[in-house]
Amino acid sequence: MTMSTVICIGMAGSGKTTFMQRLNSHLRTKKTPPYVINLDPAVLKIPYGANIDIRDSIKYKKVMENYQLGPNGAIVTSLNLFSTKIDQVIKLVEKKKEKYNHCIIDTPGQIECFVWSASGAIITESFASTFPTVIAYIVDTPRNTSPTTFMSNMLYACSILYKTKLPMIVVFNKNDVTNADFAKDWMTDFESFQRAVRDDQELNGDLGMGSGYMSSLINSMSLMLEEFYSQLDMVSVSSFTGEGFDDFLTAVDNKVDEYEEYYKAERERILKAKEEKEKLRKDKSINGLMKDLGLNDKKDGNESDASAEVISDIEAGDGDGLVDRDEDEGVEREYTFPGEERTQGEITEKDTPGLQKRYQEALESVAKTASSETAENIARHLK
């Protein structure tokens, strides 16, 4: 069976980490333990054993101090640093794909730090390009009994679906506190949602909807989202009692089949289009340079690509990669950034100037290589 990846995303307080704990426990009781990755650098303690933990690589508080950032800026920067080695993380997970059926990923509570950041897109795309990947959008059910709040959450889920272009499961969590049947009705029956909007307006007046404009907007949005709802699988779970997790795993299997049938082909088409667009851009740049230098009619047919290879901040070698760590709480843990003088691979004050220096050296090297190859190209055309 192919390993599938589940990326857990949700608003702060929706219960993502508790959901991860229960999902991990549920899969272990079925004798199919998952491969677990934690991508929240700011969490103090996680209630599950992680195979790869971003905190082994990045010291969140040090990032705040070194770069003089606030909490959210430090989370984004930590994810940026981690994403520079995502190829090594993917290689690690690939090595384990025969052993595990599921890879589950916990993301930061500040949802925008992951979903809308460049590093979040890099991490998501890297997994989606290698494994069948499903987004689990965790919703705090008790907080969504208001039609206004519910609609806001669904619009956010819609934006994430079209941003990631991956199969999505909407998971209504905390079902033990508030039953999520009302949400199922609202998503499948437009008239039921309209009644809830009217009832909320009558009960709370302007305090509930803000104004008549809000009521009209929400009704219009609910009509627009009918097509969006049809693309979703919706399950209700309780991370506290474990209710609904079999339904969730069934939904994951369905979405994996959907990924293989529809999303994979679409992603390959998009990647191919991007490659062709980039090739055209490079050809146009070279042709423009040749035209500016008056060398257009002196080509000998032996053109070479003048672009330089991307250079990592650390040169590849035997010691460049992720290394195994001693077992912790029964879970095999693995480092992400090795370093001779680094404690648990963390980014420290001592590392920061060196990191900046390596970036500068890499940039200069790229410029020098590109310049050299362009000069060779021009010389070849002059012959």
* Residue-level pLDDT at 354: 61
- Regarding beta strands 35-38 and 133-140, do their DSSP bridges make them parallel or antiparallel, or are they unpaired? unpaired
pTM given for the model: 0.71
Over residues 226-240, mean pLDDT: 87
* Residue-level pLDDT at 332: 65
* Residue-level pLDDT at 174: 94
Residue 179 confidence (pLDDT) above 70: yes
Q: What does the pLDDT look like over 64-122, one tens digit per residue?
A: 999 899 988 999 999 999 999 999 999 999 999 889 999 999 999 888 888 888 999 99
> For the domain bounded by 4-204+222-259, which CATH number is listed?
3.40.50.300
Q: Where are the domains of the chain?
A: 4-204+222-259
- Regarding beta strands 133-140 and 102-106, do their DSSP bridges make them parallel or antiparallel, or are they unpaired? unpaired
Paired tokens of 114: 């992951």
Residue 180 confidence (pLDDT) above 70: yes
* Residue-level pLDDT at 82: 92
Residue 300 confidence (pLDDT) above 60: no
Paired tokens of 360: 């500068």
Q: What does the pLDDT look like over 120-171, one tens digit per residue?
A: 999 999 999 889 999 999 999 999 998 888 988 998 998 998 888 899 999 9
Residue 31's region, left for phi above 0, alpha for psi from -120 to 50, else beta, is left
Beta-strand ranges (E) seen in the chain are 4-10, 35-38, 52-53, 102-106, 133-140, 168-173, 233-236
